[in-house]
Amino acid sequence: MSFVIGRGSDAEPIQAGHLGRYRALDGSEGAKLYVDLDGPHAMLIVGKRGYGKSFTLGVVAEELARAPGVAPVIVDPMGGFSTIAEPADGEAVPVDVVDRPAVAADVLDPRSWCSLLGLSPESGAGGLVWQAAQEAETLEAMCERVEETDAPMTDRRAATNHLALAESWGVFDPAGLDASDLASTAITVVDVSGLDAAPMNAVCRAIAEALYRARVDETIDRLPWLMIDEAHTFFDGIADAALHTILTRGRAPGVSLVLATQRPSAVTDTAISQSDVLISHRLTAEADLEALAAAQPTYMDESLDERLPTEPGQVVVVDDATETIHAAQIRHRDTPHGGASPSAREVVGIETRAADD
């Protein structure tokens, strides 16, 4: 008998990902712990820097890449996930890395275009961008629409300059990523690490919206799992609305969201309260502990911070489906982990020696 997070005790952990092993109080390892990959879930992986959030996200991604019927997509703001494409221990982990992501301009609605460019819709330039986004499908056509209007020259110039800035990001292309590109069995790693916060948010929003729409319209069969590292970056920008939609309405169309963040206090309350699986590494910042405490389920008989682990790779898992709490050690990655901190000694070629050498 095994335990599957999100499902409960299961004789055969089918369509379940191997997350790690139970951890006893003396640190010894127990039975294997799995996570359900069959139904849709909202998972939140939290922990202070360096305690293993990205590592854990990589473990979930490896398991998804080997599971049938799902379409795993990673939005990678730090560029650490391309190593998941390297040869794996054991079963292969199929991966497509998109290192210059682009999306169609018309995925964003007029209001999002104004927020993206930092323009108030009530301003002259903002009004022009709003109107252009309503009428045109491409960024080029939006610029033409602005030029064609008889609005005051200063407003037209301001709107054109803002649209030229968006053009310079290089992320808008009518042939950009769509749901059918993303809905493959392989993990699609969307590397947004070279982008500023605004274009990064535009790409994330377009991907989240495309996957959600495609499931609502039934144009893709596989169940998408959108995994986002450094998720707080996206709750601060225009991606927020699309992530909110998946968190609150993703279950029915079968869209899952896995968010990893070192700052649970910087994601919305919805992200915490709507998550049915919380995987917490070590956390110490008062604001982050308070954010989790506020959403602490009633079935927890002691406070979460008293249960938090101390070592990298150790976690506490709160499973809302079964109303259970588990202390676990996340398994080793089968592919190389790309998020390790660089070492100054490695840069200059000094070997690390054991303390007693």
Ligand X SMILES: Nc1ncnc2c1ncn2[C@@H]1O[C@H](COP(=O)(O)OP(=O)(O)OP(=O)(O)O)[C@@H](O)[C@H]1O
CB of 297 to ligand X, least distance (A): 24
| Closer by beta carbon to ligand X, 53 or else 205 | 53
Question: How distant, in Å, are the alpha carbons of 173, 226, 338 from that of 86?
Answer: 29, 21, 10
| Closer by beta carbon to ligand X, 54 or else 160 | 54
Binding footprint of ligand X on the chain (CB under 6 A): 47, 49-55, 262, 312-313, 330, 332, 337, 339-340
| Closer by beta carbon to ligand X, 68 or else 342 | 342
| Closer by beta carbon to ligand X, 50 or else 124 | 50
CB of 257 to ligand X, least distance (A): 18
| Closer by beta carbon to ligand X, 249 or else 345 | 345
CB of 161 to ligand X, least distance (A): 36
CB of 204 to ligand X, least distance (A): 17
CB of 237 to ligand X, least distance (A): 19
Q: What is the 3-state secondary structure (H, E, C) of the chain?
A: CEEEECCEEECCCCCEEEEEEEECCCCCEEEEEEEECCCCCEEEEECCCCCCHHHHHHHHHHHHHCCCCEEEEEEECCCCHHHHHCCCCCCCCCEEEECCCCECHHHCCHHHHHHHCCCCCCCHHHHHHHHHHHHCCCHHHHHHHHHHCCCCHHHHHHHHHHHHHHHHCCCECCCCCCHHHHCCCCEEEEECCCCCHHHHHHHHHHHHHHHHHHHHCCCCCCEEEEEECCHHHHCCCCHHHHHHHHHHHCCCCCCEEEEEECCHHHCCHHHHHCCCEEEECCCCCHHHHHHHHHCCCCCCCCCHHHHCCCCCCEEEEEECCCCEEEEEEECCCCCCCCCCCCCHHHHCCCCCCCCCC
CB of 260 to ligand X, least distance (A): 7
| Closer by beta carbon to ligand X, 230 or else 240 | 230
| Closer by beta carbon to ligand X, 39 or else 312 | 312
CB of 337 to ligand X, least distance (A): 5
